Amino acid sequence: MFREPQDGIIGDKSALGVNSAGSPQKPLIEANCSYAISGFKGINVAPGECKAQLYPESIRIAPPFGEMIQIPFRWIRACYSENYRLKLALHTGEAIEISALGRSHDDFYRNAVRLRNELILKDMLMDEKEMGMRARALCAIKGSDGAMTLQGECELRLYETALVVMPDAGTPFRFRYSEIASVSQSGYSLEVVMEGGERLSLKQMGRLHEPFARGLASAISDLQGKVLGLISGLFPSADAASLSALARLMREGRAAKMSDIISISPQLWAQLEMNIERVGISEEYEFLKSIAREGKICIGVKEGLARDRDGGEIDLWFLAPVYGSPAIGGNAIVMEASSPEGSGRATYLFRMVPRSEYPKMGTAMLDAACDRAIDAVNKAMIDTNFRREPIYLPDKRLYEPAYQKYLYAAKSLSPLKSLRAAFIGRVLHINPEQWRSDVKSLLLFNTSTTNDNDVWNRSVGEKGD
């Protein structure tokens, strides 16, 4: 097991570096070096000479005397090279510098970045399929403010839902097809503009420029077609214009507001509510609808959240914003989703605005805050491919081997970081009476205190989903 994160990584005896047969693996690269460590809490580690060892999921520092230091790639927040010194900044607050690698420096650094990025990418995409198209390019990424975020050589990959940029030095970037505003070509340059204003410029792809551009266009079109097909299956009698508008609102599983769907067609919303009953969450829906803000309830459709992608199963989830009534409490977005038969279920609640600000806000301000909160929940759920554990697991548990796959997303993806900060509790489904009572209790608690750090005491114990 890993030591607790507050104890750092000294003497980590986890199974990394051990093969499937239980025998020690040989390091991919091993080199003599020097090291220095800072930021450990209550532990004094003297710098000195050692061996640096590179494994598929970690770096190990082996001093001639003393305990081995293991640094899992998932714990690394940033990895960069400066004046032939490899610098590692960890999520735990520690910093490690590896120097004097000699001629092994470039190979060690390049392979450490590559292995870390592959692991991060696997975690970030949640086992999503790659579409088989890769290309090298000179890449420039600018943020919505126009500032340069990345400039340099990279590898481009196409996945089911996103274009991924793998920098030779740096952390992977993901550009979701559903958030692309435009793609343009000028000569042998390709520019991708995102809805949020970010820009990705790609050059020097050589003979792969045209095939990659076609592959990107095809991937975007395939995803749009998949969403449209899913929506069409739910609304077989809807006309083409309505289906297209609904597919844009509900792309990639987004939960769309009642008022937005009714503006397309009132019949579409009525059919969505009928599907809520079909998947077995109508009792929860009716209760939450009775206390939620009218017109703000959202419903989303996602294919096979917890099942085989090709199985054709459809899951529904909904968001019920509750605010504006002192008798009910609230200041919350309540999230409920269908689940496979026989599995545990829970309802998740998120704070809309800081508790100290809530009493001062009028209806218009709360309505705007509600829309922002709904957008945040949508983005975070899509970023995690609708996994719930990255939302509610406390920081300490993210360092456990079973949950480290969520560590990068929880620490690095802004929508998920915001949603984790807004998470106020989850209510388990033990029986209908207990569930309603606990939901009411949590909603009232959330408006009874002005301290965002206060935690609701559940009436039942914490269990897994």
What the chain holds in terms of domains, given with CATH numbers, is 5-120 (2.30.29.30), 126-225 (2.30.29.30), 245-448 (no CATH)
Per-residue pLDDT band at 21 (split at 50, 70, 90): very low
Helix axes 432-448, 282-291, angle to 10 degrees: 30
**pLDDT score, position 40:** 53
CA–CA dist 17, 283 (Å, integer): 50
**What mean pLDDT comes out for the span 116-132?**
84
pLDDT averaged over every residue in the chain: 87
The two structure tokens encoding residue 94 = 């520690």
175, 197 in Cβ contact below 8 A? no
**pLDDT score, position 2:** 32
Q: Which residues are within 8 A (CB) of 321 and not within 5 positions of it... i.e. 6 or more apart?
A: 292, 293, 296, 297, 330, 332, 333, 334, 352, 370, 373, 374
CA–CA dist 149, 163 (Å, integer): 17
Least confident stretch, 171-180, 235-244, 289-298, 305-314: 305-314
Question: Please, which contacts does 101-105 make with residues 24 or more away whose CB atoms are closer than 8 Å?
Answer: 101/31, 101/32, 101/33, 101/52, 102/31, 102/32, 104/29, 104/31, 105/81
pLDDT of 344 higher than 80: no
Nearest Cα neighbor of 345 from 434, 277, 240 is: 434
**What mean pLDDT comes out for the span 401-415?**
90
Per-residue pLDDT band at 162 (split at 50, 70, 90): very high
pLDDT of 8 higher than 80: no
**What mean pLDDT comes out for the span 213-237?**
91
**What mean pLDDT comes out for the span 237-243?**
92
Per-residue pLDDT band at 200 (split at 50, 70, 90): very high
**pLDDT score, position 394:** 94
CA–CA dist 75, 126 (Å, integer): 18
pLDDT of 259 higher than 80: yes
pTM: 0.83
Name the percent of the chain lying above pLDDT 70: 88
211 forms bridges with which residues in the sheet?
none
